[in-house]
Structure 1
Amino acid sequence: METSTSKLLGFLLFFFFYHCQACPHYKFVVKEVPYTRLCSTKNILTVNGQFPGPTLYVNKGDTIVVDVYNRGKYNITLHWHGVLQPRNPWSDGPEYITQCPIRPGAKFRQKIIFSTEEGTLWWHAHSAWLRATVHGAVVIYPKIGTSYPFPKPDVEIPIILGEWWKEDIMKIYQDVERYGGLGLTSEAYLINGQPGDLYSCSKPETFKLKVNKGLTYLLRIVNSIMLDSLFFSVANHTITVVGSDGNYLKPFKRTFIYICPGQTIDVLLEANQSPNHYYMGASVFSIAVAGAYNNSTTTAIVEYNGNYTPSSLSVFPHLPSHNDTEATLNFTASLRSLADKEHPVDVPMKINTHLFYTLSMNTPCKNQSCPDGAWRLLASVNNISFINPSIDILQAYYCCIYGVFGTNFPDFPQLYFDFTADYLPMEWEYPQLRTEVRMLDYNSTVELVFQGTNLLNGSDHPMHLHGYNFYVVGLGMGNFDKDKDPLMYNLVDPPLQNTIHVPKIGWMAVRFKANNPGVWYMHCHFDRHMVWGMDTVFVVKDGESPEAKMLPPPADMPPC
């Protein structure tokens, strides 16, 4: 750690840098406003009164400042999902990981440092389940003087996939946190804040994308949903996938995409069909038991401009069945980095840190009855169910406050077994409840294999890593074979992601270089799994040079 004198000097330098007036400033006011959906009105938490919230537009490499004013009644934090924030975890946002929450009536200035990201990302609340309504898109244009690696689209449209509960979302969250249950499923999915005309009282407000025949539209698709992955399609149209998670891909054509919570997918839509009204639609992918997911379909309408009489029934898209795991894997396996001169691939080849993390559903009710006579669900990584501390880990690490977290997160599970077996003994389902982190040396090269298990009938898991992109070098079903599966890795053009879907009883292998010092959260983006403990933290140590050290904190960090 740095000396107190050098910390003070760094703090003064960073204070002036952090408050530079040259950076574009935005004002985000978090407040409750009434919204009407599905025949009823309720107050929801919003940013600037908008749902979804405002879209931020930046260029690659920009730095912006967002002043966050909490005018709501709950503590809140904001996370800039997929923004790497080089050396600046102080503005990353996850509650009790990199900051304590912004209290009602308080303000926090967050500096958002963009670097290599280009394409579509998003921002959202990262406290409790407030991101259900507090979220918005981030559009990152190419650096000034450069262009897209594909023909410039005529129009660009953010498409934000969300969901709506009639029940107060904080009540649902508190019940899940207290009892470990599934929580209520949402009543509707949304496209740009609207359920679509298959739901009651929704036809007049259904989102419409009006298009001109012959033009090309870039749809910047964000999955902001709390609990479900989705299939998305546009009837009678083939879409071209060109990017994901703020990185470009080798273009490929599909009739549908698969997108898990936290992911973004950029697609080109060519308006090349006969003038008519066509549905765009999204429906769930879930391997959960019936009743544990919303099995409805949200729609919007692609409406061609011109003088014509539309069909009496809009043309509906074909979407895979709700449990089509093969469709999800085939789509994910189609992602390939662009890997050209302007967008090179830099996959770590020599790995010095090998990690193998099992992702499991658990219960802690060993030899005792659970609250209300029901099994209380937990979730774990390597059989450790993460417990949030009362002081954020970043502050504790930076200020050398001991006893807040442990540094003994295991590299491998303590117990190896057939992770994908149909029957697994109950004694394997009891996790340890701890606040443990994994320390990483600066510039270490990491291979992390996520292994989905079938404990408590298992689940799929969209895993997200803050502060980093990672190369997805391999995937498959069954138990990972450390001798055979690496022989099939894609080390030439693997996709560069910040969120990836780990299938139930399957595995994903990712690689990254630990060159961003700081405290960085990793968690499942199904919010109930995160509440249950499927999360952990990487602490990346400082390097030797000044450019390899974490920046000091801003002056107005929210107090614990």
Structure 2
Amino acid sequence: MGYYSSCSSYYSWVHILILATFFVAPDVVQCRVRHYKFDVVTKNTSRLCSSKPIVTVNGKFPGPTVYAREDDTVLIRVVNKVKYNVSIHWHGIRQLRTGWSDGPAYITQCPIRPGHSFLYNFTLTGQRGTLWWHAHILWLRATVHGAIVILPKLGVPYPFPKPDHEAVLILAEWWKSDTEAIINEALKSGLAPNVSDAHTINGHPGPLANCSTGGFRLGVEPGKTYMLRLVNAALNEELFFRIAGHTLTVVEVDATYVKPFKTDTVLIAPGQTTNVIVSADQSAGRYMLTASTFMDSPIAVDNNTATATLHYSGTLSSTPTVLTATPPLNATPVANKFTNSLRALNSAKYPANVPLKVDHSLLFTVGLGINPCPSCKPANGSRVVASINNVTFVMPKIALLQAHVFNIPGVFTTDFPGNPPAPFNYTGPPPSNLATSSGTKLYRLAYNSTVQLVLQDTGIIAPENHPLHLHGFNFFAVGRGLGNYNPNVDPKNFNLVDPVERNTIGVPSGGWVAIRFRADNPGVWFMHCHLEVHTTWGLKMAFLVDNGSGPNESILPPPSDLPKC
């Protein structure tokens, strides 16, 4: 299992076998420290009728689920046994003062070289819910990913009726070819990489893919309730999730509780997590689960739908599956209805502490561009790039956090622009000059300062939805709209009472979203598009948060086994 614990009463082998069915909520004892071992290894697979070897953790696809409780300390030793450099990001974990364990390669650490290991050490301070982990280098997260389940402290109930059982469902993409070869060829040509060959649910595409490998099956008992912990681990596509004949009650996103609401369709962007409760209240039978693409701009996508089945106990194998129609590819009204329904729980126990005073008011444009590339013959001497405020991020050769803490000169500058350097009609016709600048630029924040950040999509090449992920912080999504953000009008409609709290947010195609957060976590914190192709093209930047003055307001010293570049 690749797991060991300092708590002798953690899991019996019976518990492990039950958990393999995905439907019994783990009875994790109160424990100060959780220990895991992740061996990054190559494994052959026959998924989607392809026998290619893939990079995995402990030989599993998806990888093992990390279980812990709120305020536990988690120690995970990652051993690199493959030919690639590796790093693991614990997506959504606040990493308060422990930025060394955040994981993005060349941002908070140098990658783990082949044959080496690194011990990630962090505490789950004030967090509970569903998060996930994934490789944060190259395109390895296509197969190197898994869930993180943080249970409430013992004796602390969910703020909704406790479900009878729980399950983790990881939605992802699959390529028949090696993903590193795909992106390397794209970078060489200057063109976009090939889209994936299928989507998957817990590693299975289902019978709708052109391959007879079957699909994932979730067994349920009539009258029981189930909490499904959904993770979108796809590299490049937002997904709709549905279950035929069943209503879903949304109770949590990105490990923060929301006001429960009912829906038949969940929208989940790459990097996001969503917990839903479903009641097994239908007639005995088999019901289809679907994960299908949402894309409301003219961009090439994998339009294959992944399927699984919800299987009631006692149902005969000959019983036909109840089907469900998937939303249209460009079902913007369905997507907006879901997004607009999200509100923070904002209870006495779980308040929405939205910053009301703003120290930094920032406007970041996010989108594509075109730069010269004489060697890119297929793209006629140019290449597609991506940028924030027209800066295409250049990855350093030394980790930014290391350069900051040890005052290593020449690695980065702190002149990232707080506003677009050349304003234009962002959602109108593109400007005549589509080129971007390049640099390793950071934006500096004083400890405990407050930030309002408006993320504005641009129509250069095409308008597109960008799921932006901020490391090291949760933030509140206080506003959202189409067209160009108007600083004189739009803030009047901001929700400063119960906006949803997230770590990954979708910037709407041809529109904007406004977020607020408090810079209460010292270190260097990556912010990037979670469409992997856009991150590769340079749609990324980082915030540098200075140490504060108090004893618990400075980043901790680096670990002794921190990887070297």
- Shorter-chain TM-score tier: over 0.9
2:301 aligned residue: 293
Q: For the structure 1 residues 22 and 445, does the alpha-carbon distance in structure 2 shift closer, same or farther, using more than 3 Å as the test? A: closer
Please list every run of 5 or more consecutive structure 1 residues that lacks an aligned counterpart in the other structure. Answer: 1-20
Letter in 2 for 1:424: P
Aligned residues of 1:420 and 1:505 also touching (Cα < 8 A): yes
Distance 2:131 2:190 in 1: 30
Q: Which residue of the other structure, out of 467, 471, 489, is the alignment partner of 1:462?
A: 467
2:53 aligned residue: 43
Aligned residues of 1:212 and 1:304 also touching (Cα < 8 A): yes
Matched, 1:172 2:182: yes
For residues 268-287 of structure 1, what are the structure 2 equivalents within 5 Å?
Answer: 268-287=277-296
Q: 1:124 Cα shift?
A: 0.2
2:322 aligned residue: 315
171-180 or 245-254: bigger deviation: 171-180
Q: For the structure 1 residues 458 and 546, does the alpha-carbon distance in structure 2 shift closer, same or farther, using more than 3 Å as the test? A: same
For residues 368-387 of structure 1, what are the structure 2 equivalents within 5 Å?
Answer: 370-374=376-380, 375-387=382-394
For residues 216-227 of structure 1, what are the structure 2 equivalents within 5 Å?
Answer: 216-227=225-236
Distance 2:132 2:326 in 1: 25
Distance 2:188 2:315 in 1: 57
User: TM (normalized to structure 1)?
Assistant: 0.93
Corresponding residue SS for 1:226: coil
Matched, 1:344 2:351: yes
Distance 1:376 1:266 in 2: 39
Aligned residues of 2:88 and 2:103 also touching (Cα < 8 A): yes
Corresponding residue SS for 1:348: coil
1:541 aligned residue: 546
Q: For the structure 1 residues 373 and 443, does the alpha-carbon distance in structure 2 shift closer, same or farther, using more than 3 Å as the test? A: closer
For residues 130-209 of structure 1, what are the structure 2 equivalents within 5 Å?
Answer: 130-204=140-214, 206-209=215-218
For residues 33-432 of structure 1, what are the structure 2 equivalents within 5 Å?
Answer: 33-204=43-214, 206-289=215-298, 292-306=300-314, 311-312=319-320, 314-365=321-372, 370-374=376-380, 375-421=382-428, 423-427=429-433, 429-432=434-437
Q: For the structure 1 residues 202 and 409, does the alpha-carbon distance in structure 2 shift closer, same or farther, using more than 3 Å as the test? A: same
Distance 2:263 2:162 in 1: 20
Distance 1:236 1:114 in 2: 37
1:18 aligned residue: none
For residues 518-533 of structure 1, what are the structure 2 equivalents within 5 Å?
Answer: 518-533=523-538
Corresponding residue SS for 1:172: helix
2:476 aligned residue: 471
Distance 1:371 1:116 in 2: 52
Corresponding residue SS for 2:122: strand
Q: For the structure 1 residues 362 and 339, does the alpha-carbon distance in structure 2 shift closer, same or farther, using more than 3 Å as the test? A: same
Distance 2:348 2:318 in 1: 46
Distance 2:238 2:510 in 1: 17
Letter in 2 for 1:330: K
Corresponding residue SS for 1:426: coil
Aligned residues of 2:465 and 2:509 also touching (Cα < 8 A): yes
Aligned residues of 1:180 and 1:532 also touching (Cα < 8 A): no
Distance 1:373 1:189 in 2: 28
Distance 1:176 1:158 in 2: 33
Letter in 1 for 2:313: N
Letter in 1 for 2:97: R
1:502 aligned residue: 507
1:223-268 CA-partner distances (Å, limit 9, x unpaired)? 0000100000000111000000011110000001000000000000
Q: For the structure 1 residues 307 and 376, does the alpha-carbon distance in structure 2 shift closer, same or farther, using more than 3 Å as the test? A: closer
Aligned residues of 1:472 and 1:494 also touching (Cα < 8 A): yes
Corresponding residue SS for 1:159: strand
Letter in 1 for 2:354: V
Q: 1:484 Cα shift?
A: 0.9
Q: For the structure 1 residues 371 and 434, does the alpha-carbon distance in structure 2 shift closer, same or farther, using more than 3 Å as the test? A: farther
Distance 1:373 1:340 in 2: 54
Distance 1:159 1:373 in 2: 39
Distance 1:181 1:370 in 2: 8
Aligned residues of 1:465 and 1:520 also touching (Cα < 8 A): yes
Identity %: 47
1:503-553 CA-partner distances (Å, limit 9, x unpaired)? 121000000000000110000000000010000000100000110111110
Q: 1:310 Cα shift?
A: 5.6
Distance 2:187 2:544 in 1: 26
Distance 2:378 2:186 in 1: 13
Distance 1:334 1:237 in 2: 19
Please list every run of 5 or more consecutive structure 2 residues that lacks an aligned counterpart in the other structure. Answer: 1-30
Q: 1:288 Cα shift?
A: 4.3
Aligned residues of 2:481 and 2:512 also touching (Cα < 8 A): yes
2:10 aligned residue: none
2:488 aligned residue: 483
Corresponding residue SS for 1:38: helix
Corresponding residue SS for 1:321: coil
Letter in 1 for 2:121: K
1:49-100 CA-partner distances (Å, limit 9, x unpaired)? 0000000111111111000000011001000000001011000000110011
Distance 1:510 1:288 in 2: 23
Q: 1:327 Cα shift?
A: 2.1
Corresponding residue SS for 2:454: strand
Corresponding residue SS for 1:364: strand
Distance 1:385 1:457 in 2: 17
1:134-185 CA-partner distances (Å, limit 9, x unpaired)? 0000001111220101111111000000111110111012123333421111
Aligned residues of 2:188 and 2:376 also touching (Cα < 8 A): no
Q: 1:309 Cα shift?
A: 7.2
Letter in 2 for 1:273: Q
Distance 1:79 1:164 in 2: 20
1:552 aligned residue: 557
1:515 aligned residue: 520
Aligned residues of 2:237 and 2:531 also touching (Cα < 8 A): yes
Distance 1:508 1:495 in 2: 12
1:14 aligned residue: none
Distance 2:519 2:146 in 1: 28
Q: For the structure 1 residues 307 and 173, does the alpha-carbon distance in structure 2 shift closer, same or farther, using more than 3 Å as the test? A: closer
Letter in 2 for 1:160: I
Aligned residues of 1:66 and 1:112 also touching (Cα < 8 A): no
Distance 1:535 1:162 in 2: 22
Q: 1:329 Cα shift?
A: 2.1
